[in-house]
Amino acid sequence: MGRRRVKIYETEKDEGSVMAYWDWTWEQLASDDLPAMYDNIHNQTGQKLYYVGHSRRTYRLGLREFIAGGSDVSKLLAGVCSLQLIDCTKPIDVIAGPHCCIKPSMMDGSFDHAPQSTSTKNIIHSAQMIRTGNTAKYNYGDESENKKHYGQPTSPLYNVSRIPKDIPLLFGYGGKDSLTFDVNDVKHLLDNLKDHQKDKLVVKYKEVYAHFDFVMAGNAKSEICI
Protein backbone atom coordinates (compact mmCIF):
# COMPACT_ATOMS: atom_id res chain seq x y z
CA MET A 1 0.00 0.00 0.00
CA GLY A 2 1.22 3.49 -0.78
CA ARG A 3 1.98 6.12 1.83
CA ARG A 4 -1.03 8.24 0.94
CA ARG A 5 -3.56 5.44 1.37
CA VAL A 6 -2.02 4.16 4.60
CA LYS A 7 -2.39 7.64 6.11
CA ILE A 8 -6.04 7.84 5.12
CA TYR A 9 -6.78 4.41 6.50
CA GLU A 10 -5.10 5.05 9.85
CA THR A 11 -6.47 8.51 10.59
CA GLU A 12 -10.03 8.46 9.23
CA LYS A 13 -12.86 6.02 9.90
CA ASP A 14 -15.83 7.57 8.13
CA GLU A 15 -17.51 6.22 5.00
CA GLY A 16 -15.87 8.77 2.73
CA SER A 17 -12.42 7.72 3.85
CA VAL A 18 -13.18 4.04 3.28
CA MET A 19 -14.11 4.89 -0.31
CA ALA A 20 -11.02 7.07 -0.66
CA TYR A 21 -8.87 4.19 0.57
CA TRP A 22 -10.02 2.02 -2.33
CA ASP A 23 -9.99 4.85 -4.91
CA TRP A 24 -7.03 3.58 -6.93
CA THR A 25 -6.05 1.41 -9.88
CA TRP A 26 -2.81 -0.23 -10.96
CA GLU A 27 -1.54 3.21 -12.04
CA GLN A 28 -1.29 4.29 -8.39
CA LEU A 29 0.39 0.99 -7.53
CA ALA A 30 3.12 2.00 -9.99
CA SER A 31 3.26 5.73 -9.23
CA ASP A 32 2.84 5.62 -5.42
CA ASP A 33 3.35 2.16 -3.93
CA LEU A 34 6.31 0.95 -5.98
CA PRO A 35 8.51 4.06 -5.39
CA ALA A 36 7.61 3.97 -1.67
CA MET A 37 8.65 0.31 -1.39
CA TYR A 38 11.79 0.92 -3.46
CA ASP A 39 12.85 3.91 -1.34
CA ASN A 40 12.24 2.05 1.91
CA ILE A 41 14.23 -1.03 0.87
CA HIS A 42 17.05 1.02 -0.63
CA ASN A 43 17.29 3.24 2.45
CA GLN A 44 17.44 0.18 4.69
CA THR A 45 19.94 -1.82 2.65
CA GLY A 46 21.79 0.63 0.42
CA GLN A 47 21.87 -2.09 -2.23
CA LYS A 48 21.13 -2.04 -5.93
CA LEU A 49 17.60 -3.28 -6.55
CA TYR A 50 15.88 -5.25 -9.29
CA TYR A 51 12.13 -5.17 -9.78
CA VAL A 52 10.24 -8.34 -10.69
CA GLY A 53 6.52 -7.94 -11.40
CA HIS A 54 3.88 -10.61 -11.91
CA SER A 55 0.38 -9.89 -13.18
CA ARG A 56 -1.50 -6.50 -11.36
CA ARG A 57 -18.07 4.83 -9.22
CA THR A 58 -20.50 3.06 -9.12
CA TYR A 59 -21.58 -0.12 -10.79
CA ARG A 60 -23.18 -2.72 -8.58
CA LEU A 61 -19.87 -3.59 -6.94
CA GLY A 62 -19.34 -0.02 -5.70
CA LEU A 63 -16.16 2.01 -5.32
CA ARG A 64 -14.44 -0.02 -2.66
CA GLU A 65 -12.87 -3.43 -2.08
CA PHE A 66 -13.11 -6.25 -4.61
CA ILE A 67 -12.71 -9.54 -2.73
CA ALA A 68 -11.47 -12.39 -4.92
CA GLY A 69 -13.26 -14.94 -2.75
CA GLY A 70 -16.39 -12.88 -2.27
CA SER A 71 -19.97 -13.66 -3.20
CA ASP A 72 -19.94 -11.71 -6.48
CA VAL A 73 -16.92 -13.62 -7.76
CA SER A 74 -18.45 -16.90 -6.58
CA LYS A 75 -21.61 -16.18 -8.57
CA LEU A 76 -19.52 -15.33 -11.63
CA LEU A 77 -17.58 -18.58 -11.39
CA ALA A 78 -20.78 -20.54 -10.88
CA GLY A 79 -22.13 -19.08 -14.12
CA VAL A 80 -18.93 -19.89 -16.00
CA CYS A 81 -18.86 -23.45 -14.65
CA SER A 82 -22.40 -24.04 -15.88
CA LEU A 83 -21.24 -23.62 -19.47
CA GLN A 84 -20.51 -26.62 -21.62
CA LEU A 85 -16.84 -27.47 -22.29
CA ILE A 86 -15.76 -25.70 -19.07
CA ASP A 87 -14.20 -28.12 -16.57
CA CYS A 88 -14.29 -26.52 -13.13
CA THR A 89 -12.76 -29.44 -11.27
CA LYS A 90 -9.56 -27.37 -11.54
CA PRO A 91 -10.81 -23.79 -10.97
CA ILE A 92 -7.35 -22.21 -11.09
CA ASP A 93 -6.79 -23.66 -14.57
CA VAL A 94 -10.13 -22.24 -15.71
CA ILE A 95 -9.14 -18.76 -14.54
CA ALA A 96 -5.44 -18.62 -15.35
CA GLY A 97 -4.84 -21.36 -17.89
CA PRO A 98 -3.66 -25.00 -17.52
CA HIS A 99 -0.39 -24.86 -15.59
CA CYS A 100 2.27 -27.37 -16.55
CA CYS A 101 4.93 -27.51 -13.89
CA ILE A 102 3.54 -26.72 -10.42
CA LYS A 103 3.61 -29.25 -7.61
CA PRO A 104 0.26 -29.72 -5.82
CA SER A 105 1.88 -28.86 -2.49
CA MET A 106 3.13 -25.55 -3.88
CA MET A 107 -0.31 -24.73 -5.27
CA ASP A 108 -2.11 -25.58 -2.03
CA GLY A 109 0.30 -23.59 0.12
CA SER A 110 0.24 -20.52 -2.10
CA PHE A 111 -3.53 -20.29 -2.29
CA ASP A 112 -3.87 -20.47 1.47
CA HIS A 113 -2.78 -16.80 1.31
CA ALA A 114 -3.92 -15.68 -2.13
CA PRO A 115 -5.41 -14.12 -4.07
CA GLN A 116 -5.60 -10.89 -2.08
CA SER A 117 -8.39 -8.37 -2.58
CA THR A 118 -8.02 -5.34 -4.84
CA SER A 119 -10.06 -2.24 -5.56
CA THR A 120 -13.18 -2.42 -7.68
CA LYS A 121 -11.85 0.58 -9.60
CA ASN A 122 -8.78 -1.46 -10.53
CA ILE A 123 -10.96 -4.24 -11.94
CA ILE A 124 -12.99 -1.72 -13.95
CA HIS A 125 -9.82 -0.05 -15.27
CA SER A 126 -8.49 -3.39 -16.49
CA ALA A 127 -11.82 -4.20 -18.14
CA GLN A 128 -11.82 -0.84 -19.93
CA MET A 129 -8.46 -1.56 -21.53
CA ILE A 130 -9.52 -5.04 -22.57
CA ARG A 131 -12.66 -3.68 -24.26
CA THR A 132 -10.93 -0.78 -26.04
CA GLY A 133 -7.69 -2.55 -26.85
CA ASN A 134 -5.77 0.50 -25.60
CA THR A 135 -3.49 1.08 -22.62
CA ALA A 136 -5.04 4.22 -21.18
CA LYS A 137 -5.71 5.95 -17.89
CA TYR A 138 -8.93 5.22 -16.02
CA ASN A 139 -12.02 6.43 -17.90
CA TYR A 140 -14.52 8.05 -15.54
CA GLY A 141 -17.31 7.54 -18.08
CA ASP A 142 -18.19 11.23 -18.13
CA GLU A 143 -16.51 13.97 -20.17
CA SER A 144 -16.65 16.52 -17.36
CA GLU A 145 -15.06 14.09 -14.89
CA ASN A 146 -12.33 13.20 -17.37
CA LYS A 147 -11.68 16.91 -17.95
CA LYS A 148 -11.44 17.46 -14.20
CA HIS A 149 -8.75 14.79 -13.88
CA TYR A 150 -6.97 14.97 -17.24
CA GLY A 151 -7.86 18.30 -18.83
CA GLN A 152 -9.51 16.53 -21.77
CA PRO A 153 -12.82 14.71 -22.37
CA THR A 154 -11.22 11.29 -22.89
CA SER A 155 -8.75 9.31 -20.82
CA PRO A 156 -5.17 9.76 -22.14
CA LEU A 157 -3.22 6.87 -23.62
CA TYR A 158 0.02 5.74 -22.01
CA ASN A 159 3.01 6.27 -24.28
CA VAL A 160 5.03 3.10 -23.71
CA SER A 161 7.69 4.25 -26.16
CA ARG A 162 8.73 6.90 -23.61
CA ILE A 163 10.35 4.22 -21.44
CA PRO A 164 14.09 5.08 -21.46
CA LYS A 165 15.73 3.02 -24.16
CA ASP A 166 18.72 1.99 -22.04
CA ILE A 167 16.77 0.44 -19.13
CA PRO A 168 17.29 -3.36 -18.99
CA LEU A 169 13.95 -5.12 -19.50
CA LEU A 170 12.95 -8.77 -19.44
CA PHE A 171 9.51 -9.88 -20.58
CA GLY A 172 8.28 -13.38 -19.87
CA TYR A 173 4.96 -14.69 -21.16
CA GLY A 174 3.30 -18.04 -21.67
CA GLY A 175 1.28 -19.63 -24.42
CA LYS A 176 -1.27 -21.03 -21.95
CA ASP A 177 -1.80 -17.87 -19.87
CA SER A 178 -5.50 -17.00 -20.08
CA LEU A 179 -5.50 -14.39 -17.29
CA THR A 180 -3.24 -11.58 -18.46
CA PHE A 181 -1.32 -10.92 -21.66
CA ASP A 182 -1.91 -13.21 -24.56
CA VAL A 183 0.61 -13.64 -27.35
CA ASN A 184 -0.88 -10.87 -29.51
CA ASP A 185 -0.86 -8.42 -26.58
CA VAL A 186 2.84 -9.01 -26.00
CA LYS A 187 3.62 -8.61 -29.70
CA HIS A 188 1.79 -5.28 -29.66
CA LEU A 189 3.79 -4.18 -26.59
CA LEU A 190 7.09 -5.22 -28.16
CA ASP A 191 6.20 -3.34 -31.32
CA ASN A 192 5.89 -0.18 -29.22
CA LEU A 193 9.36 -0.93 -27.84
CA LYS A 194 10.98 -1.56 -31.23
CA ASP A 195 13.43 1.32 -30.70
CA HIS A 196 14.62 -0.01 -27.35
CA GLN A 197 18.31 -0.91 -27.22
CA LYS A 198 18.53 -4.50 -28.43
CA ASP A 199 21.03 -5.58 -25.79
CA LYS A 200 18.76 -4.20 -23.05
CA LEU A 201 15.62 -6.12 -24.02
CA VAL A 202 15.19 -9.84 -23.36
CA VAL A 203 12.02 -11.76 -24.23
CA LYS A 204 11.27 -15.20 -22.80
CA TYR A 205 8.33 -17.12 -24.28
CA LYS A 206 7.25 -20.44 -22.79
CA GLU A 207 4.58 -22.18 -24.84
CA VAL A 208 3.56 -24.54 -22.01
CA TYR A 209 3.45 -21.93 -19.24
CA ALA A 210 0.17 -20.62 -17.84
CA HIS A 211 -0.20 -17.61 -15.56
CA PHE A 212 1.06 -19.07 -12.28
CA ASP A 213 3.88 -21.18 -13.74
CA PHE A 214 6.09 -18.10 -13.82
CA VAL A 215 6.14 -17.82 -10.02
CA MET A 216 5.37 -21.38 -8.87
CA ALA A 217 6.78 -23.80 -11.44
CA GLY A 218 9.61 -25.98 -10.20
CA ASN A 219 11.69 -25.18 -13.29
CA ALA A 220 10.92 -21.43 -13.46
CA LYS A 221 14.35 -20.45 -12.11
CA SER A 222 16.19 -22.18 -14.93
CA GLU A 223 13.62 -21.42 -17.62
CA ILE A 224 13.00 -17.70 -16.96
CA CYS A 225 15.92 -16.25 -15.02
CA ILE A 226 19.05 -15.10 -16.84
Q: Which residues are marked as active site?
A: 55, 177, 211
DSSP state of 53: -
Nearest to 160, CA basis, from 30, 23, 56: 30
Q: How many H helices and E strands in the chain? A: 12, 4
- Which helix (H) or strand (E) covers residue 214, if one does? helix 213-216
Q: Which of 97, 163, 94, 155 has its CA nearest to residue 121?
A: 155
Q: What is the dihedral of CA 8, 12, 15, 20, to 10 degrees?
A: -10
